[in-house]
């Protein structure tokens, strides 16, 4: 099965996501179930602002930041 990695920029502050991200990007975000994120709390808020259609508790978040072990990256990418 082919996998696709999307690099999604997050908005800074409370800018409306519709003014920062193209509609096509928002549509892609709304179809995804797995996210590698720096901070889960911030990512949850971002998805809600993007109009994420499913319950946030059903989303799989993988913490990937400066404290992450490099050996964990392959497992995150294979989800």
- Over residues 59-78, the pLDDT tens digits come to 999 999 898 888 888 888 88
The single-letter DSSP state of residue 67 is: T
Mean pLDDT score, 12-31: 92
The pair of three-digit structure tokens given for residue 76, joined into one six-digit string: 């995150």
Number of C-beta neighbours around residue 62 at 10 A? 16
Q: pTM of the predicted model, to two decimals?
A: 0.86
The per-residue pLDDT for range 23-35, each reduced to its tens digit, is 999 999 999 999 9
| Helix, strand or coil, per DSSP, at residue 15 | coil
Q: Is residue 38's pLDDT more than 90? A: yes
Q: Give the DSSP H or E segment for 62.
A: strand 60-63
| Distance between start and end Cα atoms, the chain | 12
pLDDT at site 73: 87
């Amino acid at each position: 099965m082919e996998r696709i990695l999307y690099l999604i920029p997050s908005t800074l502050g409370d800018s409306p996501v519709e003014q920062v991200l193209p509609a096509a990007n928002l549509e892609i975000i709304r179809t995804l179930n797995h996210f590698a994120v720096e901070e889960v709390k911030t990512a949850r808020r971002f998805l809600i602002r993007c109009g994420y259609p499913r319950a946030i508790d059903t989303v799989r978040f993988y913490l990937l930041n400066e404290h992450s072990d490099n050996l964990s990256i392959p497992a995150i990418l294979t989800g």
